[in-house]
Amino acid sequence: MYNKIEIEVKYRNKTYKFKGGFQAYIFHTGVYNDIDTKFSVKALLKFVSLVEDCYLSDDNRTPLGDLADYVAQNWKKLKQLHPYKIMDKFYDQHF
């Protein structure tokens, strides 16, 4: 039988559910970088989704923390880009 894992994060009196720990980690990194306070909680959840898409679309051994920080610090410029474009920019600046 398949055991479903669900991660719950309680933040500011709300509970957010994730299917994996890496999503909760991305959420934490977004909070750490003030995505929710600078933009909105909706933006924070979009951030989680976008970083997840970038991370899963990459064939390299992407350092997730560095990627999440990069996207958070450049959120205004990156939030509308395709994950492949974001990964190109990330690798151009980091390697």
Query: pLDDT per position in the chain (95 positions), as tens?
Result: 457 889 999 999 999 999 999 999 999 999 999 999 999 999 999 999 999 999 999 988 899 999 999 999 999 999 999 999 999 999 998 87
CA distances from 28 to 1, 18, 31, 60, 63 (A): 31, 12, 5, 23, 15
Note the pLDDT of residue 90.
97
Domain extents in the chain: 7-94
Note the pLDDT of residue 60.
87
pTM for the whole thing? 0.92
Tokens of 95: 């390697």
